Amino acid sequence: MPELVFFSGTMDCGKSTLALQIEHNRSARGLVGMIFTRDDRAGEGKLSSRLGLVTDAVEVEDGVDLYAYLVDQLSRGGRADYVIADEAQFLAPEQIDQLARVVDDLEIDVYAFGITTDFRSKLFPGSQRLVELADRVEVLQVEALCWCGARATHNARTVGGVMVMEGAQVVVGDVDHAADEIGYEVLCRRHHRRRMTAASARAAALSPDVLPVVPDRR
């Protein structure tokens, strides 16, 4: 039976790499896929991974009906044996409903990839709807690591290496960025709660220790 599958995880855990691998494996068997994405780091209409792999994709804009788009492509003689939706957290809840309809009415598998929560540990609306509707939710097993070496479970937004908790939910950035730019970092829950990034941890380590108390020997 066709399925709507949500592959979730933190940033830097290989979601886009897996999406590209699924595309490669199926296309190598003669299958044809439709790839949707939004706000990819490589630019408009691209699906890319941090390993340097990239392929063309359909950039999803606000208000686009994904079900209607696919039906239109099929009615024009196009083909779609499966659908890949990367950066699915940025899709609107109604667009997730449309992907579910693709599975149910067109009987086409849909593989959605995205992070579950934002930099404030709040669910993205698109991810929340995927959790509600998906036939399966797969947490990726390639673990991203916090600077401390523990498993990273949270995404943090940073400005100049300092973690911030306010701002728009969607601001495009990456884990690779200049020190003075808006960027993202994956953290374990403990250090996300303490707002301690790699930069702030290094700064703390470089701070002079409190001088030991020397007993008065007079």
Q: Cα Rg for the chain, rounded, in angstroms?
A: 21
Closest CA to 86 of 124, 50, 46, 52: 46
Among 23, 44, 59, 87, the active-site one is 87
Q: Let me know if 181 is a catalytic residue.
A: no
Report the DSSP beta bridge partners of residue 118.
none
DSSP notation for 154-183: EEEEEETTEEE--S-S-----SS--TTSEE
| Residues with catalytic function | 87
